[in-house]
Every structure is written in structure tokens, then in C-alpha cells.
Chain A
Amino acid sequence: MQNALQIVYLIPLLPLIGFLVNGLGRKHLSKSLISVIGSGVVLASFAMSIWVFMQVKGMTTPYVAHYFDFIKVGDLKIPFAFQVDQLSSLFLLIITGVGFLIHVYSTSYMHKEKQEHFGRYFSYLNLFVFSMLLLVMGANYVIMFIGWEGVGLCSYLLIGYWFKNTEYNKAANKAFIMNRIGDLAFLIAIFWIISRVGNVNFNDVFAVARGEVDLRKFTGTDITAITLLLFIGATGKSAQIPLYTWLPDAMAGPTPVSALIHAATMVTAGIYMIARSNVLYSMSSVTMDIVAYVGLATALLAATIALKQNDIKKVLAYSTVSQLGFMFLALGTGAYVAAVFHVMTHAFFKALLFLGSGSVIHAMSGEQDIRNMGGLSTKMKITFVTFLIGCIAIAGIPPFSGFFSKDAILLSAFEKSPVLYGIALFTALLTAFYMFRLLFLTFSGQFRGTAEQKHHLHESPVAITIPLIVLAVLSIIGGFVGIPEVFMNGGDRIGAFLAPVIKPQGGHTVSHSTEYILMGLSTTLVIVMIIAAWFKFRNFQRTEEKGLGKVLENKWYVDELYDKVIVQSMHQFGGFLKSVIEKSVIDGLVNGVGKAVNYGGRQLRLLQSGQVGSYILLMVLSIVIIFALQFFLRK
């Protein structure tokens, strides 16, 4: 029954409708109605996605739905078309599923907002879901880019949701602009592709890349350039070095937003894009290496920073950056499936963690500094348990979901080179350490907040806890779709599922024994780390950071560096142009002409002395000169 695919356009359309309804009616609709509409549309498209997912399973070739020509100039045709295949359908599930939960969560979390702002919030969320769906469903790079910029816009709007706060707006601008830098690279990549292929449809591009279309061809440089440019685009969206600094600041937005956009979905767009164009990437080893190294570096850097952060959301933000780094490492080592797998699991547990932190903040009436928390485990059981699950999942302890995906990544890293593996493992350990630091500081020990904070402490309402529970369950079982071959033959269902899109490279080169050793090693070390964290932070008293700790607390001063080197110098230069070049040089020249004319007039005037004698003298002299020239120069 194809009809699910025929109406696939409904999936993005419903959220769009939700956006319009909530956006226009935000003044008139009641909060409850807004919540129903907002979450309802997403739920609907979630249902659609499941339906689509069912159908996609068996397909070998992607289904492309062509609606109209977005741009048609000469032989360049850019259709407005959707493409549904295994990869995109998987992402559809994640986006709409997690999205729906977070909508539900928001209904209660944002309930204190004024009504019209409440409506604004939900319309933004729906708009985001719409753009994200556009991004993953686009059948060519341009449609993908439209979604790409769309999600950027929504993140901008949602980060600056509390627009009275200038700091938040600055953070929003920062996010948008940094994304734009990446987007430019993305655009140039698109143009490059057009100049070589003539259009941007995934199928045609990959066909050309595979050399199935003989007339047009990519040279090696083309591939490298295009893939690199695309990757730069990805670094912007997925917060990799050097464009990662916006993500921590993006925590200015409401917590559900951080959960949905800056943890579960948007930031994984980069991974999606690269996985989508895996054909191209596989053809350029240079890019692959770069991707791997950048990913690993980011993972490590972010993890180190996360060690010393005290804002509960900042910690999670850096852990997100770090996890994204892991995913890029996977991509770089050619383990696209592992990357996508980790995207999924990460979506579950990171969303869980963020929502948990949200619940905590909610309970602490806005307090975000973990140094002022502690001992909440007694007050809010569900939150604590789910949060704990999340931490275990991210730390990667079997059989929680994080373990499987991370293990796959580590394995592929090991295959590439043991060094990579070593660093990756180290990072993983750091992850475990800082996550449990967070956990212990928040939930164990004594309460360190103010009295009336203590008085207000309470478990969050159902609308918040239910999504937590659901996500917790998912974080536990989510890993079983990708059980390594060593445990169970054909356990890697996700790999099998994605096979039509991502060609599985042949079986692993490492022997099973080594694989077991690696797993054991990582697991034991992680547990050791957790225990270490327990002893260190069980009962915490604040101390002034110094030395490396201070550097870490200040995020290696990267923000300051950027500010000095780029922002400030640009401002200086702009000011220089404005006040010197524009005023004095260019305009000075223009006005100079006028001044010169005026001056000439003033001087020439003096020739008109009023004396008859001098007049005649001048006349006679000019006559003499002309005669002289005429008769002596002519000869």
C-alpha cells in the first residue's frame, strides 16, 4: 500500500499548520487549546512517520515525491521534492517522537508564561519541527538547505525567546551568525556541485559520483572540496571545532528547547547530512581523516570543559558537543551506521537528561548552579531515577543504549588506529566522570540552596514526569536495535535496515577476542571513574578553582579568543572604514573636486582686476603668444 508515501507531504505540513494556527491565534486561543494543537500536530506526524517507517522497511530504492519546480533556469532545475528512504524515515521517527514528548513536557513547563507568549512558543516549536522535517525529507541539497536554515532560524527565535534579556538575544544572534558561517560553506558546496553535475538531486549527484553517468565527472579535488565545504557546514550546525561556542550559550533558551533542538535533533543535522552524502565522503580519504580528527578533538575539548562547569545546563551542553564529536569520529572512520545509531541513542538519553535538568530547575524555581543544589534525590524520586538512567546510558554501561552505540564508535576508531581509540576512550571516561559529578552534586549530599528554595522543592507534575519515564525506558532499551555481531548474529538490525542507503563495509577486521577485551576494558574503566566521582563529590564544598581548573572553568578562554581576534578586529576595521576611508578618502576625493572648483573660481576672479590697462595687456599678450605659436611652431 503506497498511499502512505503519497501523502508523505502531510508529515511536514501538519506542523506548519500548527505553526500558523498557533502563531496567528496566539492572542485568542486558550493555553490548553494551544497545547493540544501544538502537540497534536506533532503526534499526528509521528503516527504518519511510523506508518511511513513500516512501508520503507522493504524498499531498496528511495521514494522521491516531486511537487513543483522551485527554481528553473535554463537547464538548471531545482524541484521541490521529498525523498523518503530508510535514513530519513529513521530521523523522522526520532524528530517527531522525541519532539512530541518534548511538546507534552513543554505544556506544563512553560505554563507560567503569558498566554500570547505561550502561543508564540508553541508556534516556534512547530515551525522548528516543520523545518527539521524539511531538512531530512528534502530530495536535494537545496531543500535540505532550506530546512537547514529554517532550523537555524527557529533556534535563533527560541534562544531569544525571552527577548527582554539582552544577553539571551546576544546568544541568539551568536548562534545564528555562527550557523551562517557554516551555511555559506554549505552553499558554496551546492554551487560547486551544480557547476559539475548541473543539478542537486541526491540521486543524480551520487550517480555521477559513482560514475554511473559517464558524461559528467567529479575530479578528486572536486570531491575533496565539496565534502570539506559540506563538513564546514556541518561543524556550524553540529557545533564542532571551530564553530562550537554558540551551543553552550544557546542554553539561554527554555530547557525543553535545549532538549529538542540543541541536544536531540537540530545539532544532529550535520551528521545526517554527512551520512546522507556518505557516497561522496567515502571517495575522499583526506576529508574522512579531517572529519575524524576534528570530531575527536571536539569531543575531548568539550569533555575537559564539562569537567568544571557548574551550570547544570552548561554541563549537559558541553557533553552534547562532546557526544557530537564522537559521532563525527564515527563518520570520519567510515562507521556511518554507528554515527546514526549514536544519534538515535543520544537523542533519547540526552533529551532525557535535559528534561530532567529542566525538572530540577523547575523545582529549584529557576536555579541552575549545581553548587547550590544537592540532596534532591529524596525530594524528587522520578526525576532522580530517570536522571540516573540517563547518566548510566551516556556513560556507556551495558546494557544501556549508550553502551552499544559508543562501543561501535570506539571499535571503528580502533580499526582506524589505536591512538584514536585511546583518546576516544579517555574522552569516554571523562564523560562518565563529569556526568556523575553532575549527578552527585545535584542529587546526593546536603541541600546547599536557600531556605525558601528548599521550601519549594517538589516533584514535577505528570506532564513532565511522563516524558521522563518514556525517554528513560527508551534509553535503556534503545540500544538493542544495534547489538554487535559478537553477541548475536544479525543483531545489528539498524545496520541491516540502513543498508540500502549506507553500503555496509565488509565485516570487522578485529578478531572477536580483541573486541571483547576492548569492551571489558572500557566498561571497567567507566565504572572506576564513576566510583572516583562518587568519592570526590559525595559531599561537596565549593573551592576556588585555580591552575588548569580555572582554565577549564573558563572554557580554555576560546570565547575570549574569538571575541578578540575576530569580533573586535572586525569592529575596529569597520570603524576605520567608516570614519577614515569613507569620510576622508572616498568622500574626501569627491568633495575635493568641488572644493577645487570653488578655489579655482576664487583665484581666477582676481584676473578680473577692473583695470582697462591690464585687460588690454592680457589681450595683447595672448595675441602675441598665439601668433608666435602659429608661425614658429607650425614651421
Chain B
Amino acid sequence: MVAFFLIILPLLTGLIAFFLKEEKVVKSFAFLSSLATLAVSILGLTLMKAEENLQFTAQWMQPIGSSFSLRLDGMGQLLCLLTAISYPLVFLGSWNASYKRPNNFFALMLLAQAGLMGVFLATDALVFYFFWELALIPMYFLSSQWGGERRIPVTFKFFIYTFVGSVLMLIGILYIQSKTVSHSFSLNAFYVVELSSKAQSWLFWLFFLAFAIKMPVFPFHTWQPDTYEQSPTPTTMILSGVMVKMGLLGLLRWLLPVFPIASYVWGDVVMSLAVAGIVYASLIAIRQDDIKRLVAYSSIAHIGLMCAAIFAENKSGMQGVMLQMFNHGINIIGLWIIVEIIERRFGTRKMSELGGLAQKAPVMAIFFVIIALANIALPLTNAFAGEFLMFNGLMNAKSNYYLWFTVLAGLGIILAAVYTLNMIRRIFYGEVNELTAVATDLKLNEKLALGIIVGLIFWMGVYPQVLLDVTDNFSQELVNKIDISHLFRKQ
């Protein structure tokens, strides 16, 4: 039941929100709804842990072998929690921003949340695909209606790009379904389907393309900086904080377990792409002047690391990815909140036009520094444990080039320090200029949102075990599923 409510709650409230014209009303309505969702997801983690609560199945499209089935496994728990947490934060953080036609804005936001939840919960390929698109459409409308100057072409490119990926994935889904014994779309049927290694190979790429574009992995990332730059910041928060996790979840739930052989065969290629992406994105980030673009590229680098760790195919890597999926979301949302504040206050995102904010807005500066340092995985902040485990996973990967991957990915750490510290320096330190001289410090709601985020940062940083326990079983099962050593033993 929990699983069902996680979807239906935002869906219904989203539909209702269309009809609440008054800005204050719809704003608070959306906020309350997101809080309710959060409560539900926390329930799912604590009181209603029982399996029957976490599963939901309904008859649907029986003839073509599909059924509306959801399940809240470890990863699902984690990502739903992330989604549920980020929404209140986003609303709270951007409370002072005002939009024309607010009812549409918040309604679409909530619909997107429903879509995301669905993607994270679906255990039926068709349902998964449905929600995959359902999450995309509202995002597209949000970005190109409330976005920046070049929003229309940019977000449209984003849409087409991801759409191409997803339809290719649809072909893959259909093919596998036709190969399953029961001609069903259910996840378990997919796990046991017998595929020739040749078929696995091209199916692997069909699926991977969709996920790679979504994450995004180098070189399929070019839509991302533009979109992040052009979208309204709340949308960007969801896009970068939660939506990219769709791709990772796809890899973990729909790619590796279904095509273990292909994943093993192509693992090196994917890892090289991912690692190349880390260095590439970091180097570009160093040269950015626009804060949004900088954060966007840094996000590409982080995602690259996660992707690489996934294909390390060992438990340490997996757990690291789980942890990082959550923490990356929290951190980047924190960053966006401050970026949004800065943009709203000073009307610019150019670091060259800012500076000296630390004198005028010390609280903001402190929050930003903490979040930024968390973003570069300083120990005792949340990202450290995750990255530690991921690197450890890379180091113990089956690939022959594991050392290279680790070292190159490690360059990312250094470069991350470079651009992050420069960003801090150029925005907050130095003398004030006429633009920032009039700066004011954070408002209460912003303090609240950022305070929560910082709290999470330290909690997860000092005691990451909380999350690791949630996903422990899942990762273990996953690793067992994708373990193909028995194949080698045969020969």
C-alpha cells in the first residue's frame, strides 16, 4: 500500500493543484502534499516495513502480459526517500520565488514527482516505461514555460534526445518480452529470460543508450548543461537531484541483472566512457563562469563516477553508489538553492560579477562552503563514505584496467577541489563590488531548508550506516544476480 500511496498522492494532489489559482494557496498546498509524501515514505522505512505493505499489484493490460505492479525494495526505499525529501526542500528553498500561472507550475512539479516515484517503484517493464515518460513530460513543460532566454530550443533538444533514448529502450523491452517464456513484462520474467550473448550485446546498448542519455554519461551529456542553465531553478533541482537517478536506477535494476554477460563484456567500454567523462567534465567546469553551468558539469563528473562504480560490479561499489545517489541529490539541491537565491538577489549567475558576499551574507557563505565541501567529498560530510566505497569498488573491479580507472577517476577529486574552491573564492571572498554591496543575508525559510540539508550532510557523513543498512540486501542480491563466474567455470 505504501508503494501505491507514494505514487497516487502526488498524482492526485498534482491534478487538484491545477485548479488552485491563488499563488499562496497552491504553494502551501503543494508543500503540504510533499510533506505528506515524505511522511508516507518514512513510514515505509520504519513502521510499515512488512513486505505486503511494500508491494502493490493490480490487473492491467492482462492480454499483452503486463500488470501494474510496484515494489519498494532497498534501492526503491532510498530513492523514494530522496524524492520525498527533496520536494519539501525545493519548495521551501524557493518559497520567495514567484511564477506566473503558479497553479500549473506546482501541479506539474507534483506530477513529475509521481512519475519519478513510479520509475523508482515499477517492477513491470511497461509500467516502468510509462512512468519514465510521465516524469519527462512535466519536466519538459516546466523547463520551457518558466525557463530562461533560450529555453524553447534547449529544453526541446533535451526532450527529443531523451525521447530517442527511451523509444530505443522500448524496442529492447518489447524484444525481451517476446522472448520471455510467459510473454510477460514483469521484472522477474526479465531476470530469468534466456538470451544469446549476441542478443544481449545489442539489447545492452539499446537500454544503455536510454540510461546514458538520462544520467548523462559522456558523450551523451550535451543537453544537460544547457537545460540546467535554462530551466527554472526548482526544476533544475529536481532534474539534477532526483531525475538523473532514473538513469542510474535503470542501470542497476533493468540493465545489469538482465544482461549480466553483456554488462561484463562491455563493462570496460562503459567505465572508460564514464571515467573520461569525469576528467572531461571537471576540466570544463574549471573554465566556467556561470555558476549553474559549473554545477551542471560537476554533476556530470559525479554521475560519471557513479556509473563507473556500478560497472565495477562488486558490493562495495554498489553500496557506494546507493549512498552517493542519495547524498549527491541532497548536496546538489543545497547548491541550487543558494544559486537560486544569488540569481534572484543579484540577477546574475556570472562569478565574475559577484564577490565578497561572505562579508554581507556570512550565513549564506557558511552554508555554501559546507555544502560545497560536502560536494567534493570531504571526510565527515555525507559524500565521503559514498565516494570512498565507490573508489574502493573501482579498485577491486574485475576489469584489467582497474588501477587506471581508479587513478583517472581520482583526478576528478583534485579537479573538483580546484573548481569548487575557485567558485567559493570568486563568489564569497574578496572585496565587495557595487552589485554585492547591497546584499542581504538568508531569509528564514532559506535558512530552514539549508539547515536541514546541512544537518543531513553531517548525519550521513558521520553515520552513513543508516542508509547502507537500507540497501544492504538489495546490493547483495544484485551482486549475486550479476555474478557470471559460474559461466566461466563451465568452460
Give A contacts to B, CB under 8 Å. 68-74, 76, 116, 142, 145-146, 149-150, 153, 156, 160, 163-166, 169-170, 172-173, 176-177, 180-181, 183-184, 187-188, 191-192, 194-195, 570-571, 573-575, 577-578, 581-582, 586-587, 590-591, 594
Contact = CB atoms under 8 A, between A and B. Distances in A.
Nearest 8 pairs of A and B residues by beta carbon: A191-B395, A146-B379, A574-B283, A587-B222, A163-B429, A574-B287, A173-B421, A184-B410
Contacts of A590: 157, 161, 222-223
Given A184-B413, A571-B287, 13 more contacts: A72-B468, A73-B315, A146-B384, A150-B380, A160-B429, A164-B429, A165-B430, A184-B411, A188-B406, A191-B391, A194-B392, A195-B395, A574-B284
Contacts of A192: 395
B417 A145 contact: no
Nearest to B319: A73
A194 B425 contact: no
B392 A166 contact: no
B286 A164 contact: no
A184 B430 CA distance: 29
B286 A571 contact: yes
B284 A73 contact: no
B414 A169 contact: no
B385 A71 contact: yes
Contact of B284 (A164, A172, A173, A582): A582
A145 B392 CA distance: 15
Contacts of B284: 574, 577-578, 582
Nearest to B407: A188
B463 interface: yes
Given A71-B464, A73-B315, A188-B395, A176 B417 contact: yes
B310 interface: no
A71 B287 CA distance: 35
Contacts of B395: 188, 191-192, 194-195
Interface string B402-439: 00001100110110011001100100111100000000
A216 to B, nearest CB: 14
A537 to B, nearest CB: 38
Contacts of A187: 388, 391, 410, 413
A170 to B, nearest CB: 7
Given A71-B468, A163-B429, A149 B378 contact: yes
A156 B359 CA distance: 18
Nearest to B416: A180
A164 B392 contact: no
B465 interface: yes
Contacts of A586: 219, 222
Interface string B445-478: 0000000000000000001110010001001100
A153 B384 CA distance: 14
B461 to A, nearest CB: 10
Contacts of B425: 160, 166, 169-170, 173
Contact of A142 (B359, B373, B388, B475): B388
A169 B286 contact: no
A195 B428 CA distance: 41
Nearest to B161: A590
Interface in B302-327: 315-316, 319-320
Given A73-B468, A146-B379, A163-B429, A68 B283 contact: no
A149 B384 CA distance: 11
Nearest to B385: A71
B272 to A, nearest CB: 16
B389 interface: yes
Contact of A153 (B222, B378, B407, B413): B378
B348 interface: no
Interface residues on B, range: 35 or more
Contacts of A582: 222, 284
A180 B413 contact: yes
A6 B207 CA distance: 55
A519 to B, nearest CB: 44
A149 B396 CA distance: 24
A69 B475 CA distance: 19
B356 interface: yes
Nearest to A76: B316
Contacts of A183: 413
Nearest to B412: A184
Contacts of A145: 379
A73 to B, nearest CB: 5
A176 B283 contact: no
28 contacts: A70-B463, A71-B389, A73-B472, A73-B475, A74-B315, A145-B379, A146-B384, A150-B379, A160-B425, A164-B359, A165-B430, A173-B421, A177-B417, A177-B421, A180-B417, A187-B410, A187-B413, A194-B396, A573-B283, A574-B286, A574-B287, A578-B284, A578-B288, A582-B284, A587-B222, A590-B157, A590-B161, A591-B157
A76 B392 contact: yes
Contacts of A165: 430
A325 B94 CA distance: 53
Given A146-B379, A573-B283, A153 B356 contact: no
A165 B356 CA distance: 10
Given A163-B429, A590-B222, A180 B468 contact: no
Contacts of A160: 425, 429
A222 B242 CA distance: 40
A188 B394 CA distance: 11
B430 A577 contact: no
Nearest to A80: B462
B163 interface: no
Interface string B243-283: 00000000000000000000000000000000000001001
Nearest to B320: A73
Given A177-B418, A184-B413, A570 B219 contact: no
Contacts of B223: 590
A153 B373 contact: yes
Contacts of A166: 425, 429-431
A163 B430 contact: yes
A183 to B, nearest CB: 8
A68 B359 contact: no
Contacts of B476: 74
A165 B429 CA distance: 8
Contacts of A575: 287
A591 B284 CA distance: 20
Contacts of B283: 570, 573-574, 577
B358 interface: yes
A460 to B, nearest CB: 29
Contacts of B222: 582, 586-587, 590
B414 A71 contact: no
B468 to A, nearest CB: 6
Interface string B222-235: 11000000000000
A164 B379 contact: no
Given A153-B378, A195-B395, A577-B284, A73 B430 contact: no
Contacts of B358: 163
A191 B317 CA distance: 12
Contact of A70 (B373, B385, B391): B385
A173 B411 CA distance: 16
Contacts of B362: 116
A134 to B, nearest CB: 9
Contact of A191 (B286, B288, B406, B429): B406
B139 to A, nearest CB: 19
A73 B413 contact: no
Contacts of B407: 188
Interface in B332-379: 356, 358-359, 362, 373, 378-379
Contact of A577 (B157, B280, B319): B280
Contacts of B161: 590
A328 B476 CA distance: 44
Contacts of A176: 417, 421
A150 B468 CA distance: 24
Contact of A73 (B389, B417, B418): B389
